[in-house]
């Protein structure tokens, strides 16, 4: 089978498009066109007139296109991976514009035996030329002021060297191919004379590297720290750089290699974009490394990112960023009108060194027709939202985190739709989250836990600190602890998804006495430390002793919730067309979840956290080995293992679909996302042979006698009056019951969403539109007398909310907000992933989305942005490992991976996640905390 794949935006269909589509269709059994979605199209084109659905409709009407496939970025690699997984034996050809010098998917398509086919580009009707004709003065790039200064990397630096005053450019030497080949020794001698024994950098400076339409950034070699006195070392370095130009250059005679002094004493290095490369937003984007490396950012190996709004005054910036952007301003003035990509270093002496200046090619494909002032208004509105938040836990501004405590980023994402957010708020973070903890002995907090800036949900850090503190801690000591916790987190912001483990003293474990002494070095008195230690001990001891009695009470409440759910579910077949009964059913179910579900789940989750801390501290204090902990966690049997067993039985034809759906049909990949179908609506592959052997449950593993004795010694050391056997029973039950409560809790949540799906069907509103409503909208609709009035009411709100949501989606927002300035200077640091197990594995990467089929992830390292309980099906597919963007130490997926002894990196953050998602094969080394691209 022959498959051809082409891709693009196709905003204005013209003759050139038809010719390219015809060529791709010729001699192909199937021609698939990857159509960029609106976000990707806007990021690439700058402005798109037609919507995705309009462009798709045009393509579907053409005889040359067999299928339109949504493409989420300019890079078609992910779609090609999906096609290869679906048609592993097909010959796939990738068609693209013949004027592209570098194609992102080139390496992948060739690795699977496919081929790349360039097609003729119809230049006269290119969108950029249409724009030039319509806006000749604004968009004319050939007549751009100072464009004569932009040439090769070396020539540009030579031209800028005498002009810059606020930065430095290292001494330069250019080696031409015609001067090097055949006279290598002579060339090396000239280098030695020029640089007088200093260390040098040998870098690429090819003719197509730094032009307006493409940069080929990082495409060619650079060799650092070369000894200029060693002829062989210099010759080899120059030869290697020329060789990296490859087949793109048939004649190297006129090509350049750039040689400069190797900059010593580098403190910070990186790249500055003078516009946001993704959406052309008005930011300086600084990607940097502060470890002393000069190539970790440009090589893609690491780094941190800061988005600096272009309307911020340089005097408001911390150093050295104000100094750096002052130097960047100078370059912008010299190269007036050009969006720049600047490679820099800052030395320990505070000097700004410029390594490279080039046009930011991604922004020059098309010029965005929009006013920056519109974006500044949006950003300032977000700042106003933040400024209006009142922190009732202190006089300082509200401190917010997107991944602390109840971690909304993991459960509903960093840009959730309105319904996702309002549901999470109503049933968890409004009041119920704290109501479950108060009976355990924790402090009552009257305030809501979660707040929204733009579309992004945040958790109040101060309210989290308060709620995790024993109620018996006196107010003056609490205030002092809050200040301490804030200071500790400010020193180590990568702990914001680990506050219960690394910041707040919130329960007593076998290492508490060891760690709590650190407070003495932070200005706490012996009396204060003793008061806190006593409060933690009393609370935890009581919780352990009362656990099983509390568990029975919570199970009783959960049974009440199930009664409400079953009653409403029983009526479901009769009320699907009755909009008022659907609204009443939704209201009753949400109220029941808040009363009989969330407080109980919150309590059981806290018991599970205590169990987790006990296990970790047993290892830390030497009572257990790492293997003991893995053995114990491997003995935990939760619904995830039952799902794994049952999905295997179903796939072999040993369980009916009806029985499978009865147990798991309510689950959905995105527990709060109405747009996701439930398991009962999804297709799972099933075999036909029902006579195969029975599926065995996981064999129970038992702790060694030495490990049990270790627990006994630990309990005696801290004075807990409970036997080792009873204590281990508590640990096991706490970890298992948390997952059972969550599983049962999601049944009611899922049914509540289904009632809204039915309500949408009743009102002729698709589920994707219902996602823009909030709970109060649905409850308010019961006051409308007719179904038509409700439909109009909903549609009016949806139209307004969609516009607001789309606007807010453009905001750049930080993971942590300390004050309003963090919205002007957005810092995105490298996260500290939570590595699970001590294993090291290597394998192909599979990035999961809503269209991923279960069988396609087997024997893969799965990469997923957020992973709530609805994604538990992945553990039934024999995956090799897991990487997530969001999630903390005690998150759902962290516990799942420990339970399955699965290597994982949970909560990697944006940069590491993007790195892993873009790789084809990676090494996941949990023991050493590394994720390595293995090509």
User: For 434-489, what is each residue's pLDDT tens digit?
Assistant: 999 999 999 999 999 999 999 999 999 999 999 999 999 999 999 999 999 999 99
| Residues 349-408 pLDDT 10s | 999 999 999 877 545 444 454 589 999 999 999 999 999 999 988 778 899 999 899 989
| Residues 826-843 pLDDT 10s | 998 767 788 888 889 999
State the residue for tokens 């976000």.
Answer: 39
**Given pLDDT bands bounded at 50, 70 and 90, which one contains residue 153?**
confident
| Residues 186-208 pLDDT 10s | 999 999 999 988 999 999 888 76
DSSP summary character for residue 668:
B
Nearest to 597 by CA among 733, 744, 410: 744
Nearest to 596 by CA among 638, 637, 565: 565
Which tokens sit at 888? 């903390």
Mean pLDDT of 577-603: 92
Which tokens sit at 579? 């909009």
pLDDT for 417 beyond 90: yes
**Given pLDDT bands bounded at 50, 70 and 90, which one contains residue 857?**
confident
Distance CA 532, CA 522 (A): 14
Measured torsion, CA atoms of residues 520, 525, 531, 537, in degrees rounded to the nearest 10: 10
| Residues 608-641 pLDDT 10s | 999 999 999 999 999 999 999 989 988 888 887 8
What's residue 576's pLDDT?
62
| Residues 296-317 pLDDT 10s | 554 444 578 999 999 999 888 9
What's residue 509's pLDDT?
96
Sequence-distant (≥ 6) Cβ neighbours of residue 559 within 8 angstroms: none
What's residue 424's pLDDT?
96
What's residue 528's pLDDT?
97
What's residue 151's pLDDT?
62
What's residue 556's pLDDT?
97
| C-beta separation of 121 from 33 below 8 A | no
| C-beta separation of 911 from 904 below 8 A | no
| C-beta separation of 772 from 795 below 8 A | no
**Given pLDDT bands bounded at 50, 70 and 90, which one contains residue 728?**
very high
pLDDT for 266 beyond 50: yes
**Given pLDDT bands bounded at 50, 70 and 90, which one contains residue 40?**
confident
Q: Write down how long the chain is.
A: 935
| C-beta separation of 407 from 429 below 8 A | no
**Given pLDDT bands bounded at 50, 70 and 90, which one contains residue 139?**
very low
**How many other CB atoms sit within 10 Å of the CB of residue 838?**
13
What's residue 133's pLDDT?
54
**Given pLDDT bands bounded at 50, 70 and 90, which one contains residue 216?**
very low
% of the chain with per-residue pLDDT over 90: 56
Nearest to 87 by CA among 56, 112, 117, 115: 112
What's residue 358's pLDDT?
85
β-pair partners for 261: 200
Q: What share of the chain is helix, strand, coil (3-state, %, to 5)?
A: 50, 15, 35
**Given pLDDT bands bounded at 50, 70 and 90, which one contains residue 138?**
very low
Sequence-distant (≥ 6) Cβ neighbours of residue 858 within 8 angstroms: 877, 878, 879
Distance CA 336, CA 366 (A): 17
Distance CA 316, CA 339 (A): 23
What's residue 651's pLDDT?
83
Phi, psi of 363 (to 5 degrees): -85, -10
Distance CA 550, CA 557 (A): 11
pLDDT for 792 beyond 90: yes
pLDDT for 708 beyond 90: yes
Distance CA 754, CA 768 (A): 13
Distance CA 791, CA 779 (A): 14
Distance CA 410, CA 888 (A): 8
Distance CA 154, CA 174 (A): 7
β-pair partners for 35: 8, 70
What's residue 620's pLDDT?
95
What's residue 741's pLDDT?
92
**Residue, of 272 and 694, whose pLDDT is higher:** 272
What's residue 17's pLDDT?
86
Distance CA 227, CA 783 (A): 81
pLDDT for 889 beyond 80: no
Q: Is 98 helix (H, G, I), strand (E, B) or coil?
A: coil
| Helices and strands (H, E) in the chain, number of each type | 34, 26
Beta strands per DSSP E along 217-303: 222-227, 256-261, 266-273, 283-289
Q: What's the mean pLDDT when you consider all of the chain?
A: 86
Nearest to 90 by CA among 112, 68, 64, 119: 112
| C-beta separation of 510 from 718 below 8 A | yes
Distance CA 670, CA 708 (A): 39
What's residue 364's pLDDT?
45
What's residue 473's pLDDT?
97
| C-beta separation of 600 from 436 below 8 A | yes
Q: Is the peptide bond before 320 cis (omega within 30 degrees of 0)?
A: yes
**Residue, of 577 and 367, whose pLDDT is higher:** 577
Mean pLDDT of 43-69: 85
């Amino acid at each position: 089978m022959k498959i051809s794949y082409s891709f693009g935006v196709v905003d204005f269909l013209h003759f050139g498009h038809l010719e390219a589509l015809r060529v791709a269709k010729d001699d192909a059994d199937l021609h698939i066109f990857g159509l960029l979605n609106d976000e990707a199209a806007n990021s690439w084109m700058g402005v798109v007139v037609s919507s995705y659905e309009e462009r798709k409709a045009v393509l579907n009407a053409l005889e040359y296109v067999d299928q339109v496939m949504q493409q989420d970025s300019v890079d078609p690699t992910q779609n090609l991976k999906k096609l290869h997984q679906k048609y592993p034996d097909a010959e796939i050809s990738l068609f693209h514009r013949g004027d592209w010098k570098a194609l992102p998917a080139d390496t992948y398509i060739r690795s699977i035996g496919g081929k790349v086919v360039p097609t003729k580009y119809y230049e006269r009707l290119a969108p950029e030329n249409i724009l030039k004709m319509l806006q000749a003065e604004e968009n004319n790039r050939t007549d751009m002021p100072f464009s004569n200064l932009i040439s090769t990397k070396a020539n540009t630096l030579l031209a800028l060297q005498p002009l810059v005053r606020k930065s430095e450019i290292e001494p330069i030497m250019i080696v031409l191919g015609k001067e090097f080949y055949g006279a290598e020794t002579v060339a090396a001698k000239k280098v030695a004379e020029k640089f007088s024994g200093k260390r040098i950098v040998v870098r690429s400076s090819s003719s197509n590297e730094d032009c307006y339409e493409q940069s080929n950034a990082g495409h060619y070699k650079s060799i650092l720290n070369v000894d200029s006195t060693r002829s062989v070392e210099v010759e080899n370095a120059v030869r290697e750089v020329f060789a990296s130009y490859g087949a793109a250059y048939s004649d190297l005679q006129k090509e350049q290699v750039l040689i400069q002094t190797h900059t010593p004493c580098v403190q910070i290095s990186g790249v500055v974009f003078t516009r946001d490369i993704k959406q052309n937003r008005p930011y300086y984007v600084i990607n940097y490394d502060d470890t002393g490396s000069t190539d970790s950012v440009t090589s893609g190996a690491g780094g941190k990112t800061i988005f600096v709004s272009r309307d911020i005054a340089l005097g408001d910036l911390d150093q050295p960023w104000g100094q750096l952007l002052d130097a960047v301003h100078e370059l912008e003035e010299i190269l007036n009108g050009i969006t720049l990509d600047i490679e820099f270093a800052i030395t320990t002496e505070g000097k700004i060194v410029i390594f490279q200046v080039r046009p930011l090619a991604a922004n020059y494909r098309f010029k965005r027709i929009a006013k920056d002032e519109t974006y500044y208004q949006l950003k300032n509105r977000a700042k106003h939202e933040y400024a209006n938040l009142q922190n009732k836990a202190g006089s300082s501004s509200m401190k917010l985190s997107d991944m602390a405590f109840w971690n909304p980023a993991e459960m509903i994402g960093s840009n959730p739709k309105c319904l996702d957010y309002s549901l999470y708020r109503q049933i968890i973070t409004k009041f119920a989250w704290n109501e479950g903890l108060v009976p355990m002995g924790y402090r009552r907090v009257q305030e809501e836990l979660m707040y929204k800036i733009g579309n992004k949900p945040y958790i109040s850090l101060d309210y989290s600190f308060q709620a995790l503190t024993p109620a018996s801690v006196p107010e003056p000591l609490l205030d002092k602890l809050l200040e301490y916790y804030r200071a500790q987190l400010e020193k180590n912001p990568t702990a914001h998804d680990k506050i219960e483990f690394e910041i707040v003293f919130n329960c007593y474990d076998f290492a508490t006495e060891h760690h709590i002494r650190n407070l003495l070095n932070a200005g706490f008195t012996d009396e204060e430390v003793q008061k806190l230690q006593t409060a933690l001990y009393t609370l935890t001891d009581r919780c352990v002793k009362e656990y099983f009695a509390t568990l029975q009470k919570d199970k009783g409440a959960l049974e009440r919730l199930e009664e409400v759910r079953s009653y409403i579910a029983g009526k479901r077949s009769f009320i699907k067309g009755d909009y008022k009964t659907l609204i009443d059913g939704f209201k009753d179910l949400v109220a029941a979840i808040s009363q009989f579900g969330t407080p109980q789940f919150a309590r059981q989750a806290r018991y599970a956290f205590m169990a987790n801390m006990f296990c970790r501290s047993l290892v830390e204090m030497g009572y257990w080995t790492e293997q003991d902990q893995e053995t114990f966690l491997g003995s935990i049997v939760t619904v995830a293992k039952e799902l794994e067993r049952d999905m295997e039985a179903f796939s072999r034809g040993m369980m009916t679909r009806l029985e499978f759906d009865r147990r798991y049909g309510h689950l959905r990949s995105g527990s709060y996302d109405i747009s996701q179908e439930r398991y009962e609506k999804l297709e799972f592959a099933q075999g036909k042979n029902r006579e195969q052997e029975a599926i065995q449950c996981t064999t129970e593993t038992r702790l060694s006698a030495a490990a049990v004795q270790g627990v006994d010694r630990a309990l005696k050391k801290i004075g807990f009056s409970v036997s080792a056997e009873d204590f281990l029973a508590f640990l096991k039950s706490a970890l298992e019951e948390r997952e059972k409560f969550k599983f049962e809790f999601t049944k009611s949540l899922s049914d509540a969403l289904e009632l809204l799906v039915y309500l949408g069907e009743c009102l002729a509103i698709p589920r994707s539109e219902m996602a823009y409503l909030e709970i109060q909208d649905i409850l308010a609709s019961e006051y409308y007398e007719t179904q038509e009035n409700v439909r109009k009411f909903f549609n009016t709100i949806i139209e307004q909310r969609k516009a607001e949501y789309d606007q807010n989606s453009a905001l750049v927002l930080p993971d942590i907000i300390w004050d309003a300035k963090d919205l002007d200077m957005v810092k995105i640091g490298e996260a500290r992933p939570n590595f699970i197990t001590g294993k090291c594995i290597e394998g192909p990467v599979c990035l999961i989305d809503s269209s991923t089929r279960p069988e396609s992830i087997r024997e893969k390292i799965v990469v997923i942005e957020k992973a709530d309980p609805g994604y538990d099906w992945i553990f039934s597919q024999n995956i090799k490992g897991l990487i997530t963007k969001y999630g903390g130490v005690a998150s759902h997926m962290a516990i799942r991976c420990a339970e399955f002894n699965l290597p994982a990196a949970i909560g990697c953050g944006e940069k590491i996640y993007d790195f892993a998602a873009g790789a084809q094969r990676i090494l996941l080394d949990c023991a050493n905390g590394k994720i390595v691209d293995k090509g």
